[in-house]
Structure 1
Amino acid sequence: MEITEVHTNKKTIPLGKVFKTSLREVTEIEVINIEIQLENGVFGIGSAASTWQITGESLASIQAAIEGPIKQVILHHHIEELEDILTNVVTSCAGNTSAKAAVDIALHDAYCKYYGLPLYQYLGGGSVCPETDITISIDEPEVMGQDAIERLRQGYNTLKIKVGNDERLDISRIEKIRETVGDKAALRLDANQGWDRKQAVKIIRYLEKENLMVELVEQPVAAHDFEGLKYVRHNVDTPIMADESLFSPFDAFRLIKMEAVDLLNIKLMKSGGIRQARQIADTAQSAGIECMIGSMMESSLSVTAAAHLAFSHNNITHFDLDAPLWLKQEPVEGGMQYDGKTVILSEGPGLGFIN
């Protein structure tokens, strides 16, 4: 069944409240949505968010990559040859991982709709619905403490705490949140590259000494500093997770070979889509390294694709799928839904969105 058309459109989606990390402050997200149409009228949908600080892509560059080199290598190919088409997407141009992810998602959606099965079933099935953590945006300690207790009241028991722009303030933030929630919630820290290696070790050792019960620390040092990740991991007891350091299966292989991390955070916008995300999870599994599935600040279209992957791969054991909960309104109907902290997937074909 031939791919006959590829269309893109821009969309701006406001957030319900400001989202702040050590890297950026967000009040709305900008996305490029894509439709890939087959000759029988079936179409697949995908989406990519612009995140300058992480992938280096703008909204314009994402759209240009899709409408240019990526479109050229998928148009008029047959969807039954999905593996070959996905390879073409990966090799169509350098970088542009978010653009590639949007197309990869839409191709998977079209393929599964063509064959009439949910995406997670095509990816291998699954029996356990993921339970997402919830992010506590970076702010003053008192504000973060109040946010944490409110999330606890809403039923979330794993909190992802944004830190990374001030050593003393970061410690105060963590202490305040632990004091507020007691032992009722697991705390995961995400420094978003906000510390250097020695600073990270100093902070984490203090948290360990004070028994603040931190489950893991995500990306404590700069993305390029693989040696820094290794240094931190080998000088603390708390598990260390790579995020911005991990884009490709090769990055995963290198991090594992260096013994630089305990965990890997997979995001479709970094990996270039579902295909390479699965390769990362497989590579990690072969080395006994568990993975988290995460997301940028994205629309429910792309996060739903990540949820299908999470549901279907048993080496993805940690789930950070809360991005759609930050949106003021859902741009589309269907896809993933939430029952409290539990992510529920549609049994409809593909991603499960209603046409």
Structure 2
Amino acid sequence: MEISGIDVMRQSVPLVKPFKTALRTVSRAESVLVRMTLNDGRTGWGEAPPTVVITGESMESIEAAVAYTFAPLLIGRSVLAYEQLLQSVHQSMAGASSAKAAVDMAVYDLVSQCAQMPLYQFLGGYRDKLETDFTVSVNTPEEMGDDAAAYARNGFTVLKIKVGKDSIERDIERIREVRRRVGKDIKIRVDANQGWQPKEAVRSIRRMEDMGLDIELVEQPVKAHDIDGLKTVTDAVETPVMADESVFSPLQAFDIIRRRAADMLNIKLMKSGGIYYAQLINQMAEQFGMECMVGSMIESRVAVTAAAHFAASKKNITRVDLDAPLMLLYDTVDGGVEYDGPNMLLPRAAGLGIRNVVPRETEAAL
């Protein structure tokens, strides 16, 4: 069960519509794919998108981390000693959380294949299906209302509304228009992507509460480093507040849990460095009665399949934001998680259940 090779490939897929947040605008889903092979021929897959504004990683830095730091540590070693492997990866360099996640996914894919179990069962097997929300990019209130109404017609019962790009007044107009267009039965989550200051976040959330906009939660209202500001908002409003960009490592999660700086955590494999540490974050949160959501960057079904397996395996993960593959113009993945509107069905095959990936751009094997 030794790792005999690691291939690194690039893929770039256009989005159906540009994805806009307070932090960036994306028109293509670019990522680095990792294909890990055992000496018995079995293959495991991983993926890492270059989300520079959040993780600080580029395509080139991800490729370099995998090729020149992680691969020499892994090739020739047994994948069954995955605790050793992943400890080595995490200790080998600081940062590079997405590159670590791609390798982590491939390792877990292969380990669960060796166990002849789908990954979600290997990790705990709590459920075999999920329901994702759909994200409404930040645009004019009218365009966001149109998009939200279209997603609701397509069966999505939970929408995530991106705000924080300009003024609070404009953001409230956006949310009010979305609520008007979709009615009262659709759940609305608001994601400011660090776009507000603490006092204006408190003021805007209280206004939304007074207006009866019925917001399920507000995600990352303030800057990622401003944990004091995050706690100020959490303590001052009735609407639950979720930490996202503030939580990469288990240590950061512990700090937020200890201080009750947020009501919930958004775990993303690209922030945690993969499933290995994502499990620890979720376990800590569960012990202190704090629910978690699993989200993603702009990723294909490779990385989202890994995130879905993790999310489905745990009781404390009560929400998922895994709509990114639905935003892509075409699909490069054979196998993996399947979508039926908002419903995500986990594959029954061992591992991630991914048979092959055919990217449009490729790089040489390591």
Q: TM-score w.r.t. structure 2 length?
A: 0.96
Which residue matches 1:215?
216
Aligned residue for 1:234, secondary structure, equals helix
Amino acid at match of 2:71: K
After TM superposition, the structure 1 = structure 2 runs for residues 144-155 of structure 1, keeping only pairs within 5 Å, are: 144-155=144-155
**CA distance in 2 between partners of 1:202 and 1:274 (Å):** 37
The answer to whether the Cα contact below 8 Å between 2:219 and 2:242 also exists between their aligned partners in 1 is yes
**Identity of aligned pairs, percent?**
48
Which residue matches 1:102?
102
After TM superposition, the structure 1 = structure 2 runs for residues 322-341 of structure 1, keeping only pairs within 5 Å, are: 322-341=323-342
Q: Which stretch of structure 1 is more off in the superposition, 245-254 or 126-135?
A: 126-135
After TM superposition, the structure 1 = structure 2 runs for residues 1-355 of structure 1, keeping only pairs within 5 Å, are: 1-127=1-127, 129-165=129-165, 166-355=167-356
Q: Which stretch of structure 1 is more off in the superposition, 124-133 or 265-274?
A: 124-133
Q: CA deviation at 1:315?
A: 0.5
**CA distance in 2 between partners of 1:127 and 1:8 (Å):** 32
The answer to whether the Cα contact below 8 Å between 2:136 and 2:144 also exists between their aligned partners in 1 is yes
Amino acid at match of 2:332: P
The answer to whether the Cα contact below 8 Å between 2:120 and 2:128 also exists between their aligned partners in 1 is no
- Give CA deviations for 1:3-23 in whole Å, capped at 9, x if unaligned: 111110111111111111111
**CA distance in 2 between partners of 1:105 and 1:266 (Å):** 15
**CA distance in 2 between partners of 1:12 and 1:297 (Å):** 11
Q: Which stretch of structure 1 is more off in the superposition, 120-129 or 269-278?
A: 120-129
Q: CA deviation at 1:69?
A: 1.2
Q: CA deviation at 1:175?
A: 0.7
Task: Point out where structure 2 has 5 or more consecutive residues left out of the alignment.
Answer: 357-366
**CA distance in 1 between partners of 2:247 and 2:95 (Å):** 13
The answer to whether the Cα contact below 8 Å between 2:128 and 2:346 also exists between their aligned partners in 1 is no
- Give CA deviations for 1:62-102 in whole Å, capped at 9, x if unaligned: 00000011112211110111111111111111000000000
**CA distance in 1 between partners of 2:74 and 2:184 (Å):** 51
Higher relative contact order (CA 8 A, sep 6+): 2
Aligned residue for 2:80, secondary structure, equals helix
Q: CA deviation at 1:115?
A: 2.6
Aligned residue for 2:292, secondary structure, equals strand
Q: CA deviation at 1:128?
A: 5.1
Which residue matches 2:361?
none
Aligned residue for 2:44, secondary structure, equals strand
Aligned residue for 1:28, secondary structure, equals strand
**CA distance in 2 between partners of 1:296 and 1:153 (Å):** 25
Amino acid at match of 1:238: T
The answer to whether the Cα contact below 8 Å between 1:29 and 1:50 also exists between their aligned partners in 2 is no
Task: Point out where structure 1 has 5 or more consecutive residues left out of the alignment.
Answer: none
Q: CA RMSD in A?
A: 0.9
**CA distance in 2 between partners of 1:343 and 1:83 (Å):** 29
Q: CA deviation at 1:127?
A: 2.7
**CA distance in 2 between partners of 1:353 and 1:42 (Å):** 12
